[in-house]
Amino acid sequence: MDYQDPVRAELERDRIFGEVPFIVAHSSEVARTGDFISLDLPRNKVVVVRQRDGSVRAFINACRHRGAQLVTEDSGTCRIFSCPYHRWSYGINGELRSVTLNNTFGEFDRSTSGMIEIPVEERHGFVWAIDNAEREIDVAAWLGPEMDVVMAEYEIDRLISVDPHTYQRPVNWKIMQDGFLDNYHVKYAHPNTAGKMLHTNAVTLDDLGRSFWFLTARKSIDQFIGQDLEWTKEMEGHTIESCFLAPNTMLLKHATHFELLTFRPVGADPGQSIMQMRIMAPSVEDSGITEEHWHKRWAKNWGLLIAILHDEDFPILDSSQSALASLDAGTMLLGRNELASHLFRREVDRLIRAEAPGR
């Protein structure tokens, strides 16, 4: 794995993010007509927007006149996209609607001057994209039949995304992804937080060929040691079920909610990445609690997540990037226990090498 090489980073940007589907939002983040979010994907700045017919589409966030960024807010609701520079406007379906001082432009084909679209698909409660206007998307085919069933059974489309967080970090996206596939570091790097609740270096993993499913154990599972038991629903509370969704996503299933962690490079810069963290939970109505209690509950959950990931993991992961920049840092050694990281590398390397990536 290469963490410093701009040539490698360019291949990753194009052959991974420009070729295969990855999650860019939870559907609830663009719930109603005109709801949009803007995102920096590795190859394009895009705006993801809910259409009048209920579908979701994504467009390059650049005006077709002289390229000014159309949408500058991270999220919002709108009826048209209006360019701040010379006020050309576009419908939420990307069509060019109006050109100011129209007659100075004479005749030109408006139908080909709309916002440029990249392929997106909604499936299993998420919005997936391929960051490439030239591709077509098929999420089920990418997930494969087994992972597609796992995802369908989770019913994450019934939940809502609570206050998603985005971080840009000075670290290669693969170091970030590795850090959150790693069960070996738990008690060493998180002795007073996650290390108290979770077992270290105890993972059971089901390799589905591209993605994988795995289970980590909470310490509370120890109460069953020595008992000859059938696996029951009640015991699920003593484990965390997770999926690695190739190429860049970790999904964790908790008793009351899901967490989703996604990682992607910033353009072809090997030293910068964007991590997005999401909590998907039942709505206030579905939870049967007061709105105040609901907000308190999820603010507390976010607090715990940030205390571990942001405060404890990020400094270590950032330091890996800067230490590995040492010209004589040498090579790395991955243990047999670090199976998840081996499988992540397998898929990244396969995509990089593929003649026709992703297919």
Binding site for ligand FES (CB under 6 A): 63, 65-68, 83, 85-88
Smallest separation, CB 68 to ligand FES (Å): 4
* Cβ nearer to ligand FES, comparing 64 with 199: 64
CA nearest 199: which of 187, 181, 182? 187
> Is residue 178 at the binding interface for Fe ion, with CB under 5 A as the rule?
no
The H or E element spanning position 239 is strand 239-245
Choose the stretch contacting Fe ion; rule: CB under 5 A; options: 45-53, 283-291, 305-313, 348-356.
305-313
Pairing relationship of beta strands 35-40 and 45-50 according to DSSP bridges: antiparallel
Candidates 122, 313, 338, 347: give the one binding Fe ion (CB under 5 A): 313
By CB under 5 A, which span of 53-61, 91-99, 217-225, 313-321 interacts with Fe ion? 313-321
HSE-CB of 286 using CA atoms within 13 angstroms: 9
- The site partner of 25 among ligand FES, Fe ion, none (C-beta below 5 to 8 Å per kind) is none
Q: In b/e form, how buried is each residue of 37-70, taking b as 16+ CB within 10 angstroms?
A: bbbebbbbebbbbbeeeeebbbbbbbbbbeeeeb
Q: Which is closer to ligand FES, CB of 106 or CB of 288?
A: 106
Size of the site for Fe ion (CB under 5 A): 1
Q: What distance, in Å, lies between the first and last C-alpha atoms of the chain?
A: 22
| Smallest separation (angstroms) from ligand FES to the CB of 213 | 46
Pick the closer one to Fe ion by CB: 130 or 250. Answer: 250
Of 79 and 86, nearer to ligand FES (C-beta) is 86
Which of the ranges 51-59, 130-138, 292-300, 310-318 carries the binding residues for Fe ion, by CB under 5 A? 310-318
Q: Which one, 28 or 216, has the nearer CB to Fe ion? A: 216
- What residues contact 176, with CB distance under 8 A and at least 6 apart? 169, 263, 273, 275, 317
Q: Which residues contact 27 (CB under 8 A, 6 or more apart)?
A: 56, 122, 125, 126, 127, 157
Compare residues 67 and 191 and give the one whose CB is closer to ligand FES: 67
Phi first, then psi: give them for residue 252, nearest 5 degrees: -120, 135
Q: Which residue, among 81, 50, 80, has the nearest Cα to 63 in the 3D structure?
A: 81
Residues near Fe ion, by CB under 5 A = 313
